[in-house]
Amino acid sequence: MIHDPIPRGVQPALPLFDEDALDIADYLKAEAGPDDIHTDATRRQGLAALTLGAVGVVYGDIGTSPIYAFREAIRATGVRDPGAEEVLGILSLLFWTLILIVTVKYVFVLLRADNRGEGGILSLYTLVRLAAGRRSVPVLVLALTGAALFAGDAAITPAISVLSAVEGLGLILPALSAYVLPVTLGILVALFMVQRRGTANVARLFGPICVVWFLTLAGLGLWHIAEEPRVLAAFNPLWGLGFLWHNGGVAFVVLGAVFLAVTGGEALYADLGHFGRRPITLAWFGLVLPALMLNYLGQGAMVLANPDLAAESFFAMAPEALLPALVVLATAATVIASQAVITGAFSMARGAIQLGFLPRLRIQHTAEGQSGQIYIGAVNWLLLWGVLWLVLSFGSSSALASAYGIAVTGTMVLTSVLGVLYLVRSGRMRMPLALLVASPVLGVELVFLASNAVKFTDGGHVPVAVAAVVGMLMWAWWRGTQAVRTRVAKLAIRVVSFVRMMRGASVHVIPGTAFFLTGDPGIVPSALLHNIKHNRVLHEQTVFLTVETLRVPYATAEERATVEPLGGCFVRVILRFGFMETPNVSRAMAHARAAGLKFDVMASTFFLGRRRAVATGTGWELMMDRLYVALSRMAADPTDFYHLPRDRVVELGERVAI
């Protein structure tokens, strides 16, 4: 059910189904000075600080690609001693892939397609949804698929990044090769264990460490380029085209490895809200892109001079005396890259919860004033389990590389498709022109997707399987939520009719304020009906309180609260939050008080309705219904999720057949 437009013409999303309430203690704190929406501390920092942070968080993933991308591309050729054709051809493909996909698509185009400053595939979906003015199931499926593929990427990135860096131990001392897996597992476990403590303090180190990392990449590259300057010919795109033309099927497989150079490119768009377009752009052109290109050129120059070093083209760039330091720095960089994707998984999960794609999960804020610093325990431990399983199953970064590309390419293709739909639905371009403009990038991404699909049986099925499971869970939850809402709406009583009926009712009125939480402001909460039926009382002020999730990342102060007297003792209050916000009803109630709601917190009672779904379908529908019921049992307790004061909450339940 879609509600009427709210201030400034923004159409809200479906309200949260489960009813919620406020925390008295938090509310009293909010009285002293409620925070406005999205006052992220990073937004108050200078451009230099934001750019430094972007280097560490946004580019941590793509910055570790030189460890394995060129090596895997050379290995995919099957040539024992690669020559100029292979080296210069692959380097040319790497460069122009970085230019076309990262620079053109993400930096020049998608960073401008923000949703109130937020990016990512879910933000892009909401832009398409708002532009269309109505729900489209195909577009919804695209968004769910993209979010599900991101989950597959989030599991593989920590595994391949940390494993590829620790494998450098074998180059320092061959006897250490036996300890690669134990060390990798230990680092990953430690990384996920500290997530609960938050990354606010650690994040301050990300930027400086990654600056050192990128400067090291550039320095190693310049050193080897000076020894073999003919490698600069790789800037000519004809080398890449010639390689594709003369190598046929082999080149098609090589493209799957070449794409590893742009894994992490999606972070540019996903982290837009944390740093802003300008810092991300400055970091890319000022440091990251030059460092990546110089390092790939350096690896190519070294392999041209010493073809036997192609198997370890990255670590072989360093002098033997500096190799231990490079391994340590690479390990630190990969941990940072892993941290970035873990944080991204938390943010994606929160957006999915707020949009109604996942059940409530307990969300903890780990840094005061920084909305992006959150921790979701369920996501953290599921990711850890998946990452450890991947490391133990594949055993090496080379084996994992086969499983890496499909999830990333799939997400990028879906982002491009949604981008085209946004251009068309918003009226900026007609479909033929939008397809013409997007065809170069979309065409290249489809080729990369096809080349990675070839590796499906060699490990590529892993992210697809993960995405399929996550996608099915999200679809089951969304479908079940809609079914429950539809079922309840058929049996519900409209507020307008109820208020009119209660004017002459003989129900006893008692002092105080009662908040009845409801997912639909036009429907009488079932908890109120049960209370009247069993207790036959009304409070002198009865408030219908609804929390709505908007199809925008953050609600403004003007949109936050609406107070509407309904006549008699009844008042309707609607609190609104963006889908990137964790609803803080306590603070938002300060906005409601400013809008005219008068109540004594200590003389209030909070009634929470709890609905239990019962599966009644057949066949496939029965399976999806049972999955929804199982997910609903895993959802966080609404009392904890919304910080309800347990000693002042009354819960009344009902069973709903779907």
DSSP calls for 551-563: SSSS--HHHHEEE
CA 562 vs CA 28, 305, 573, 593: distances in Å:
20, 71, 6, 10
DSSP 286: I
Angle at the Cα of 16 (from 5 to 625), degrees rounded to 5? Answer: 125
User: Would you give the distance in Å from CA 399 to the centre of its chain?
Assistant: 26
Name residue 575's beta-bridge partners: 547, 561
Helix (H, G, I), strand (E, B) or coil at 604: strand
479 pLDDT exceeds 90?
A: no
Contacts of residue 369, defined as CB under 8 A and 6 or more positions apart, other chains included, come to: 35, 39, 40, 41
CA distance linking residue 49 with residue 187, whole number of Å: 28
Which among 279, 251, 305, 240 has a CA at the least distance from the CA of 107? Answer: 279
Averaging pLDDT over each range in 9-13, 60-64, 91-95, 631-635, which range is the top one? 91-95
> Considering only 15-29, 72-86, 281-295, 527-541, which range has the smallest mean pLDDT?
15-29
User: Taking the chain, what is the end-to-end CA distance rounded to the nearest angstrom?
Assistant: 17
CA distance linking residue 628 with residue 291, whole number of Å: 48
CA 592 vs CA 17, 130, 285, 642: distances in Å:
21, 26, 46, 17
Q: Which residue has the higher pLDDT, 355 or 543?
A: 543
Q: Which residue has the higher pLDDT, 16 or 515?
A: 515
Q: How confident is the model at residue 579 (pLDDT cuts 50, 70, 90)?
A: low
Query: How many CA atoms, within 13 angstroms, populate the side-chain half-sphere of residue 140?
Result: 15
Q: Which pair of tokens denotes residue 362?
A: 């307990």
Handedness of CA 277, 280, 281, 286 (dihedral sign): positive
Q: What local confidence, expressed as pLDDT, does residue 290 receive?
A: 96
Per-residue pLDDT, averaged over 176-197, amounts to 85
Strands 570-577 and 561-567 come out as antiparallel
Per-residue pLDDT, averaged over 169-198, amounts to 82
Q: What local confidence, expressed as pLDDT, does residue 199 receive?
A: 55
Q: What local confidence, expressed as pLDDT, does residue 574 receive?
A: 92
Q: Which pair of tokens denotes residue 318?
A: 């360093």
Annotated domain spans of the chain: 7-23+493-657, 41-342+371-480
Q: What local confidence, expressed as pLDDT, does residue 6 receive?
A: 33
User: Would you give the distance in Å from CA 500 to the centre of its chain?
Assistant: 46
Q: What local confidence, expressed as pLDDT, does residue 30 receive?
A: 33
Per-residue pLDDT, averaged over 59-78, amounts to 87
Helix (H, G, I), strand (E, B) or coil at 608: strand
Q: What local confidence, expressed as pLDDT, does residue 196 receive?
A: 78
Per-residue pLDDT, averaged over 598-623, amounts to 78
Q: What local confidence, expressed as pLDDT, does residue 657 receive?
A: 65
Q: How confident is the model at residue 201 (pLDDT cuts 50, 70, 90)?
A: low
CA 51 vs CA 59, 108, 304: distances in Å:
11, 17, 35
587-599 burial: b if 16+ Cβ within 10 Å, else e:
bbbbbbbeeebeb
Q: What local confidence, expressed as pLDDT, does residue 401 receive?
A: 74
pTM (two decimals):
0.73
> Considering only 441-445, 596-600, 646-650, which range has the smallest mean pLDDT?
646-650
CA 104 vs CA 69, 76, 433: distances in Å:
21, 27, 17
Which among 522, 481, 518 has a CA at the least distance from the CA of 356? Answer: 481
Q: Which helix (H) or strand (E) holds 401?
A: helix 397-425
Q: Which residue has the higher pLDDT, 581 or 103?
A: 103
CA distance linking residue 206 with residue 203, whole number of Å: 5
Per-residue pLDDT, averaged over 195-199, amounts to 70
Q: What local confidence, expressed as pLDDT, does residue 18 receive?
A: 34
Query: How many CA atoms, within 13 angstroms, populate the side-chain half-sphere of residue 97?
Result: 31
Number of neighbours of residue 8 by Cβ within 10 angstroms: 9
CA distance linking residue 73 with residue 401, whole number of Å: 10
Q: How confident is the model at residue 101 (pLDDT cuts 50, 70, 90)?
A: very high
Q: What local confidence, expressed as pLDDT, does residue 44 receive?
A: 45
Strands 561-567 and 363-365 come out as unpaired
**Edge-to-edge, what's the strand order for the sheet holding 537-549?**
561-567, 570-577, 537-549, 508-517, 604-614, 649-657
Give me the chain's average pLDDT, please.
80
Q: What local confidence, expressed as pLDDT, does residue 19 receive?
A: 31
Q: Any idea which fold 41-342+371-480 has?
A: Amino acid/polyamine transporter I (1.20.1740)
Q: What local confidence, expressed as pLDDT, does residue 28 receive?
A: 29
DSSP 270: H
Q: Report CA Rg, the chain.
A: 27
- Give the tens place of pLDDT for each residue, 117-154: 777 788 888 888 888 777 788 888 888 888 888 888 78
98 pLDDT exceeds 90?
A: yes
CA distance linking residue 549 with residue 553, whole number of Å: 9
Q: What local confidence, expressed as pLDDT, does residue 626 receive?
A: 85
359 pLDDT exceeds 90?
A: no
Helix (H, G, I), strand (E, B) or coil at 386: helix
Q: What local confidence, expressed as pLDDT, does residue 51 receive?
A: 85
Q: How confident is the model at residue 529 (pLDDT cuts 50, 70, 90)?
A: confident
Q: What local confidence, expressed as pLDDT, does residue 395 receive?
A: 84
CA distance linking residue 426 with residue 250, whole number of Å: 42
- Give the tens place of pLDDT for each residue, 3-44: 333 333 333 333 333 333 323 233 223 333 333 333 344 444
Per-residue pLDDT, averaged over 605-619, amounts to 75
Helix (H, G, I), strand (E, B) or coil at 336: helix
